[in-house]
Structure 1
């Protein structure tokens, strides 16, 4: 039993007592329950002999942070705790967006709540809205504050009003906690540059290149083109500072217990804005160690679990999302393993599924997808995924080389093929994407571009080819159909619901021109939205209305709640991806054809996995029973079926 389950049992038991138990008493109950784990984790990172005083400081911090949490949110914590794993519900539908690019500011966003409700979205991931440096700031991921709202978005009062409105409309909110680094304008960095040794110890700072050079032997480069290396010389300090991401983002030194305690306070300042889910940004990088890649280290997992245990004591209704874009076998570890199972993050990005879906589009085959997802260990029962096609970031190609070889490809050549397919190097490819951060040293690169452009809609519209336009629309819907049914929270990237194409205007912005990820960070096109009801045959209207239809179907089917009820079938047709979702005696099978020609499945195989045929099954997407031709089920190019057996009348 993980700690969340234990807190739920204790809370429910407390509610049964006459008059209930005061919120403060429930806090003390949670502290007593987690204290031994918190102590163990803390002293496994920070030796007890040297850091005992800091542990007592942490205990005082927990109490003060609980007292600072608004009563309304404390009550919501208990309600959320008692409601079970709300984040695994089939009702959850997410959207990721930039506030200013979606509709000006926080108040503009509040005006669009009816838009989200119309589509069926009830969970918003808002990209960073706190203060950041002017000019380059990595899209807000270089933070000057963890709780002050950047004036371009409005005020803290505006956001508190928005989060209250969201709660009233049963909407959930997620914000980023940039846990690995601050900007070089953050108050600690400013004091460090002014000469404060105390604050220089909040970062990795060195007076010469000896240790930095030792680190560089094993540290990978995150942005080899725009920010090569992992250290930046600061003339004010006359020291080298670790900057794994960009020169203006200083990595925090969690070997210093004061950093953890201070960052716990920053975490709670974010939670107290009324946030339900906190996205731990770049958490794989949290612990640095010479001679290693300083990614996915055991100490990083301990640190994350320590954050989680403390958060459960203060605000048990708030959950954590792991932004760990790492190899599939490493992603699963961020839910917690062994004695820590279920005691790290409740949610993680299903980055492997995302990358594998793009691979299947390019190869027109599902074989690598099936091999990869069936080899990943099962996640804990109380954890779930964020399933997504696209996000604000680039698309990495995190495939397991061994799996690539098993499916008949050379890993290096295959990666080059995928990059060529999406980045304009193959004349026959309909994809319009850009190559991001290509590293000639190892051939690694990533891909940028909007979903619609990567799936061929931009090319098809340029060619004014009706058949190609239809293919692109069908591909877009198929990809979304998978994330809506696969098992977890589907996260739609704002603009994808109306088939937004690449935005090349970033090339004219001096702050963005060197970062082509901005090609898939467009302004929301409200002119297009205003035409959805009039121009029902436009690609934007077709995609919006079909997505709306699929979202409604998802919410009607309890099998789509994530209870580890997913079974991926090894399909005899390598072009078709087949999986089954089950709840009690009810099942839905999702079939997706990744090929540009019609593919078929034999009736005997369908019967072997439990699918009834003919009039005994319906496709939920169309409401019709499907037809067999010569005892085979045909799937048109990029067609998807949601098959549900029906009882004979």
Structure 2
């Protein structure tokens, strides 16, 4: 099929104005090659896939509202909308934040007060009953959890957020569905078409062959990667849990199903899709079945089709992998800049916590020096905490370069943030400890890990002040990093602590990640208005950082961040070149005053450093946990 025939197939089912015809034809021509080459890499022997993609696009374009078509046009002319310095994100569970979707709508003024332009609501589509991996075991992508509301409520929320200048991000689980999903139900009932939507084997021959190179994601409560199912009479691929069935993306029917689903949800008003577990979507014998080349081909094809049918939409890849693999989710080689617009900068998060524990930034600087540069049309999602545990992804190569032993440093971090290391200020828990490898991940809220819980218990004003400053420093680093959208996790703006009552809910008692998923405390939120309270200092401190970011053009995500080596191991120094003048950020990761690195600043042309955060000249010394965003005043 040629591009002209592809466009004609779509247009024959629409019949809009000639202007829209020209607009649609231009989009087809722009993304045709990305779509065709992506599909050819995935399904070289499949006839008619492109024609069915065209039909899927036409069906959903017919249903796209005039308001969303206007947003499409706006985004076509502002393709960097998600890269702008005023794009600030917030992550929340709808029920824990505000009860339900209508409650979230009522809290929009709170989000706007903080300066939020992007809201990621954690899984809210209908999950299976009982255990559901925090909502990631989806039973129906076209229904909302009943306790949160209805699909009409979600559409109404999207509309209200959009009119207030806030984009909604929704989780879309790509690797698996719940065993109770209609596809899996049909497979269990013997429908051949739907059996082909999954990986089902009659005996252990192939599962055992795959297992030789497959890691275990949850070795404690979900060992192995395959589960015997009596109804389907076979071994089902279940990477995460026995009730989460991996879908078979080598089947083009699966691609078409997910494309239709994305466009349908986009028509409800969803603007950003977090592509959950995307790294696992393609399987290959003899590998770990992660980060396979076809993953990027399928993302490219999906993105190209969605750019034709709903160009207001952006993709965010949820790929917590090594940096050399992570950059491929924003595009390298033939896929450069053609896959997801956003991906998580896991390395930044891990290194912030590492430097807070060690008071040493040399490993941080080394890791950023080696971190690949992203395509300028993309952005990182930067963050300090999220709903998940912290995996201590410290590279052995980076550790060795600064005189550390990787395994020993990872062990130090897990012990420090468990509160087991002498002198630790942190309170957390080990998650998924693996005795065979020594791997221990960490659960805990940002405030508790940063020492606020311990400090409040002591009642000591200096310790409380240090914990608050530590939290503000940590946030300043990822907010000021500048290559993407900073994401604030619900409650971190108030210093919410660990929720040790998480085990009282039966569905949560075996998963201590609920330790750092507390319910929003709106009584404490009111204290943000009372000067001198912890809540006021944190909320106003983060708000000031976000306001400073909005007025700093150097923080547009198209420009790269470069770490600078300098003699003081307690300081992290980052440089952002820009046509309006270089920005140099200086962060003090210690509890002691540190001298400003004058020689480093002068080398970058900054001789009269002006702080963009406080809008005052820079001090000669950095207070404990100080953070400065410095430019040379323009004449």
TM-score by length of 2: 0.95
Q: Is contact 1:23–1:74 with CA below 8 Å preserved after alignment?
A: no
Structure 1 SS opposite 2:275: strand
CA deviations 1:16-54 (Å, max 9, x no partner) are xxx995324422332244334322221222233xx1133
Alpha-carbon distance between aligned partners in 2 of 1:39 and 1:172, rounded to the nearest angstrom: 29
In the TM superposition, residue 531 of structure 1 has moved relative to its aligned partner by: 2.2
CA displacement at 1:305 relative to structure 2: 0.9
Determine whether 1:357 maps to 2:344.
no
The Cα of 1:606 is off from its aligned counterpart by 2.8
* Counterpart residue number, 1:610: 605
Deviation at residue 68 of structure 1 after TM alignment: 3.0
Superposed, which structure 2 residues align to 1:248-327 within 5 Å?
A: 248-327=243-322
- Alpha-carbon distance change, 44 to 84 in structure 1, aligned in 2, over 3 angstroms: closer
1:34 to 2:28 alignment:
no
CA contact (8 A) 1:565 1:583 kept: no
Per-residue deviation, 1:377? 2.1
Give 1:261 deviation, angstroms. 0.9
* SS of equivalent to 1:146: strand
**1:610/1:511 CA distance change after superposition, 3 Å:** same
Number of residue pairs the alignment of both structures matches: 619
1:433 alignment counterpart: 428
After superposition, the Cα gap between the structure-2 partners of 1:36 and 1:645, relative to the gap in structure 1 and judged at 3 Å, is closer
Question: What is the match of residue 633 of structure 2?
Answer: 646
Partner residue, 1:138: 133
Q: 1:149 and 1:644, CA in 2 relative to 1: closer, same or farther beyond 3 A?
A: same
Please tell me whether the aligned partners of residues 576 and 594 of structure 1 are also in contact (alpha carbons under 8 angstroms). yes
Q: Structure 2 matches for 1:501-540, cutoff 5 A?
A: 501-534=497-530, 536-540=531-535
Structure 1 Cα separation of the partners of residues 597 and 276 of structure 2: 45
- In 1, Cα distance between the equivalents of 2:303 and 2:393? 27
| Structure 1 residue 406: Cα displacement | 0.9
Deviation at 1:354, TM superposition (A): 0.8
- How far the C-alpha of 1:139 sits from its partner, in A, is 1.1
Partner of 2:13: none
Q: Aligned residue for 2:168?
A: 173
Deviation at 1:181, TM superposition (A): 0.6
Question: Is the partner of 1:531 in helix, strand or coil?
Answer: helix
The 8 Å contact of residues 573 and 601 in structure 1, kept in 2 or not, is answered as no
* CA contact 2:527–2:533 (8 Å) conserved in 1: no
The change in CA–CA distance for 1:292 and 1:424 in structure 2 (over 3 A counts) is: same
SS at 1:547's partner residue?
helix
Q: 2:453 aligns to what SS in structure 1?
A: helix
Q: Do the aligned partners of 2:350 and 2:393 also contact (CA within 8 Å) in 1?
A: yes
Contact 1:327 / 1:399 at 8 angstroms: preserved in 2? no
**Structure 1 residue 415: deviation in Å?**
0.9
Among candidates 31, 42, 54, match of residue 45 of structure 1: 42
| TM alignment of 1:273-422, pairs within 5 A | 273-422=268-417
Partner secondary structure for residue 197 of structure 2: coil
Which moves more between the two structures, 574-583 or 82-91? 574-583
Determine the C-alpha separation between the residues in 1 that align with 2:146 and 2:557: 39
Q: Tell me, yes or no, if structure 1 residue 493 matches structure 2 residue 485.
A: no
Match of 2:618 in 1: 626
Distance apart, 1:285 and its partner CA? 0.6
Deviation, structure 1 residue 254: 0.7
CA distance in 1, matches of 2:634, 2:70: 44
C-alpha change, 1:605 and 1:80, in structure 2 (3 Å) is: closer
Check whether the contact 2:552–2:612 (CA below 8 A) recurs between aligned residues.
Answer: no
After superposing the two structures, state which structure 1 stretch, 181-190 or 438-447, moved more: 438-447
Q: What's the counterpart of residue 194 of structure 1?
A: 189
Cα 1:381/1:620, change in 2 over 3 Å? closer
Shift of 1:520: 0.8
Kept in 1: contact 2:36–2:301 (CA 8 A): no
Change (3 A) 1:414 1:317: same
| Secondary structure of residue in 2 paired with 1:272 | helix
User: Which of 117, 121, 143 is 1:122 aligned to?
Assistant: 117
Question: What corresponds to 2:624 in structure 1?
Answer: 637
Give the secondary-structure state (helix, strand or coil) at the position aligned to 2:488: strand
Unaligned stretches of 5+ in structure 1? 1-18, 629-633
For residues 53-78 of structure 1, what are the alpha-carbon distances to aligned partners after superposition, in whole Å with 9 as ceiling and x for unaligned? 33432332232232233332122111
Q: Which whole-Å deviations, capped at 9, do the CAs of 1:214-233 have from their partners, x for residues lacking one?
A: 11111111111111111111
1:479 aligns with 2:466: no
Instruction: Flag structure 2 segments of 5+ consecutive residues without an equivalent.
Output: 1-15
User: What CA distance in whole angstroms lies between the structure 2 residues aligned with 1:494 and 1:479?
Assistant: 16
d(CA) in 1 for partners of 2:555 and 2:40?
41
CA distance in 2, matches of 1:121, 1:538: 22
